[in-house]
Amino acid sequence: MMGAAPHNPGPALRVEGLVAGIGPLTILHGVSLEVGVNEVAVVLGANGAGKTTLLRAVAGLLTPREGRIQLFGDAIQGRAPHLVARAGLGHVPSGRELFPRLTVGDHLDLGGRLCAPPRRAELRDRLLAMFPVLAERLRQPAGTLSGGEQQMVAIARALMTDPRVLLLDEPSTGLAPKIVLSVFKTLSKLREHGVSVLLAEQSLTLGLSMADHAFVIDHGRIVLSGTAAEISSDRRVVDTYLGR
């Protein structure tokens, strides 16, 4: 409500002691991190460090064995993915996971199913203004789009769930540097719309260019964290990357 500032609102997303894996294999060994309200945070790590596993566990696609995940103070660990989405968490998966024969418009409708019709229409209008290239291609099958356009569809589909926190798994994969820039530019717009972001990224320069805070993950553990400026000047980051 106007005027009544909430007392200690806390972070948008808080992950504490997250342990998760696949079958008998433990991949995340007690990961903790926070994303502040209206902040962009990045999880940096080399191939196989555990970034995708972390984002999937937060999105409810993988049930954590231990630990807590809070979205604006609400414990969401162990909930089914659609309930996590309904709680306000959007997920742009690794590799985009689009349906090649479905159109751009179909993808937006899929994302919008969780949200009430008036809000859905409002979100759709706002997204098409934000991604004019998608507005021009509403009836085009996703499989016929360029890589950058496909990434925008994946982001727009996640935004149609009306998230307050958006997880993005390496949106730069397979895109030319110029296209990456245009995708990343749209991410900085999200902040203006009150969406906090947790980005997983392999590229140090790219990840740090976007983020307020950075967490470096290695072998399923957060080994360094700090402001983007602190991390970019920390030589141990390079050691972590080159030491593999």
Ligand X SMILES: Nc1ncnc2c1ncn2[C@@H]1O[C@H](COP(=O)(O)OP(=O)(O)OP(=O)(O)O)[C@@H](O)[C@H]1O
Beta carbons of 87 and 71 less than 8 angstroms apart: yes
Residue with tokens 């630990």: 67
Would you say 84 and 64 are in contact if contact means Cβ atoms under 8 Å apart? no
Q: Does 52 bind ligand X (CB under 6 A)?
A: yes
Task: Write each residue from 94 to 133 as x if it is in contact with ligand X (CB under 6 A), else as -, in one continuous string.
Answer: x---------------------------------------
Please choose which of Mg ion, ligand X, none residue 45 contacts, taking the beta carbon within 5 to 8 angstroms, the exact cut-off set by kind: ligand X
Where b means 16+ CB within 10 Å and e means fewer, 76-91 reads: bbebeeeebbbbbbbb
Closest to 94 in 3D by CA, of 61, 139, 140: 61
Interaction of residue 196 with Mg ion, rule CB under 5 A? no
Q: Is 77 in the site for Mg ion (CB under 5 A)?
A: no
- Member of 1, 47, 139, 177 binding ligand X (CB under 6 A): 47
Binding mask 151-190 for ligand X (x = CB under 6 A): ----------------------------------------
CB 32 within 8 A of CB 15: yes
Phi, psi (degrees; rounded to nearest 5) at 225: -150, 155
The answer to whether 94 contacts Mg ion (rule: CB under 5 A) is: yes
Contact 95, 118 (CB under 8 A): no
- Binding piece for ligand X, criterion CB under 6 A, among 44-52, 60-68, 147-155, 232-240: 44-52
Distance between CA atoms of residues 79 and 68, nearest Å:
12
77 near ligand X (CB under 6 A):
no
> Which parts of this chain interact with ligand X (CB under 6 A)?
22, 25, 27, 45, 47-53, 94, 202
